[in-house]
């Protein structure tokens, strides 16, 4: 049988890329001798480094222009790999034409845009998210179209032995004789509903009262409200994404909004307590962590009908019926002990 040479394309954000990681594993289970490459943005490549199921990482160029010099160079690079299949999880017109001109015989994308029809691209439909499934499950539909049969959606990041040892050393360094290392990620990049920084500051001060807990803040840029809290470490300031994986791996638990750091922790098999909005576009059924032990916190019933600002990104879960500090403390304590 001719070797399948498959290009997996996911050129958006960290969480989306993490949720694509089950696909190469399941493809290799089905086609053990297949060649798999991923096409990614440069800043997300660390997610796939050291992944035993990946044979090549190709980085997307930064241009947004159709048919410019950078486009032609990327087409030549992709064409040189002699791919038989491409699976594009978030199509764009530029990527669609890039794969077409690279001569990939079987090209599959999500949705049915005009440019996909013009290039005879196969497609899978999400049918308006009815019934609602997980993003990782929708993504796996692309692999299912070429023969994969699986419901295993567990995400994964593969650390080296050196990185695992560094995580252990970092954990020992930060614990300072305490039992549990609790990570708090304050910011969300305005991509999901989230607390204000001052709410996180209050939470951190409450967590510090537990003599078993040592708290670290995992953001790479620290809000002013958090900077001056005493006895808190900030290990991820000005480090590469890959280096931050060592920090996340050192944790017993991460508290955060429903964004990239939550997915990174899940892929590293670290427990998570995460804030979610119940609206379909933000739902934990669609975007929840996959592959770890997790706790999901949602506003109380009726909160959204009364307090929702109309834009989930503007929601901060404030008020007694939102997500309170006591809700988080109770969830953490029940999870840890």
Whole-number pLDDT of residue 301: 79
The rounded distance, in Å, linking the Cα atoms of 251 and 171 is: 7
Q: Do residues 176 and 298 make contact, with C-beta atoms less than 8 angstroms apart?
A: no
Contact 21, 44 (CB under 8 A): no
- The torsion angles phi and psi of 76, rounded to 5 degrees, stand at -65, -40
Number of domains in the chain: 2
Classify the phi-psi angles of 158: left when phi > 0, otherwise alpha if psi is within -120 to 50, otherwise beta: beta
- Across the beta sheet with 5-9, the strand order is 56-59, 35-40, 5-9, 85-88, 106-110, 122-124
Residues 181 and 320 in one domain: yes
150, part of any domain: no
The structure tokens listed for 237 are 């300031």
Same domain, yes or no: 184 and 331? yes
**Cβ pair 119, 93 in contact under 8 A:** no
Same domain membership, residue 215 and residue 72: no
Say how far apart CA 257 and CA 183 lie, in whole Å. Answer: 12
- Domain end marker among 114, 144, 174: 144
Domain-terminating residue out of 95, 112, 144: 144
Q: Report if pTM > 0.85.
A: yes
Please write the tens of the pLDDT for every residue from 199-258: 999 999 999 999 999 999 999 999 999 999 999 999 999 999 999 999 999 999 999 999
Angle CA 180–205–318, to nearest 5: 110
pLDDT of the residue at 280: 85
Report residues of the chain scoring pLDDT below 50.
none
Q: Is 136 found in the same domain as 49?
A: yes
DSSP letter for each residue of 110-168: ES--HHHHHTT-EEE--GGGSS---HHHHHHHHHHTTT-------------HHHHHHHH
Q: What is the CATH number of the domain that holds 264?
A: 3.40.50.2000
Considering the domain architecture, whether residues 176 and 132 belong to the same structural domain is answered as no
DSSP SS3 for 171? helix
What per-residue confidence (pLDDT) applies to 253?
99
- C-alpha–C-alpha distance, residues 30 and 147, integer Å: 8
Phi and psi at residue 181, to the nearest 5°: -100, 115
Quick one: pLDDT at residue 309?
72
Identify the pLDDT of residue 248.
Answer: 99
Range of the domain at 284: 161-336
């Amino acid at each position: 049988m001719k070797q399948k040479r498959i290009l997996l394309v996911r050129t958006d954000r960290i969480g989306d890329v993490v949720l694509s990681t089950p696909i190469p594993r399941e493809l290799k289970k089905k086609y053990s001798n297949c060649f798999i490459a991923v096409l990614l943005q440069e800043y997300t490549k660390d997610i796939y480094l050291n992944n035993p199921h990946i044979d090549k990482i190709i980085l997307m160029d930064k241009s947004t222009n159709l048919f410019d010099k950078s486009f032609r160079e990327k087409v030549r690079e992709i064409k040189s790999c002699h791919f038989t299949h491409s699976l594009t999880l978030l199509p764009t017109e530029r990527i669609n034409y890039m794969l077409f001109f690279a001569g990939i015989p079987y090209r599959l994308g999500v949705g049915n845009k005009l440019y996909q029809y013009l290039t005879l691209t196969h497609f899978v439909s999400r049918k308006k998210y009815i019934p609602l499934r997980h993003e990782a499950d929708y993504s796996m539909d692309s692999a299912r179209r070429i023969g994969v049969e699986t419901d295993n959606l567990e995400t994964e990041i593969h650390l080296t032995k050196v990185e695992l040892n560094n995580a252990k050393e970092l954990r020992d360094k930060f614990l300072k004789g305490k039992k549990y290392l609790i990570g708090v990620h304050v910011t969300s990049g305005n991509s999901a509903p989230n607390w204000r920084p001052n709410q996180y500051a209050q939470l951190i001060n409450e967590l510090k009262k537990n003599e078993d807990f040592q708290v670290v803040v995992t953001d790479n840029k620290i809000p002013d409200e958090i900077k001056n809290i005493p006895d808190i470490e900030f290990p991820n300031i000005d480090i590469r994404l890959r280096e931050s994986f060592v920090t996340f791996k050192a944790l017993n638990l991460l508290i955060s909004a429903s964004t990239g750091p939550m997915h990174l922790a899940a892929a590293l098999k670290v427990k998570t307590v995460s804030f979610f909005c119940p609206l379909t576009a933000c739902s934990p059924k669609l975007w929840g962590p996959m592959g770890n032990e997790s706790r999901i916190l949602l506003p109380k019933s009726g909160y959204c009908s009364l307090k929702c600002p109309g834009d989930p990104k503007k929601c901060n879960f404030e008020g007694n019926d939102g997500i309170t500090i006591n809700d988080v403390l109770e969830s953490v304590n029940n999870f840890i002990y």
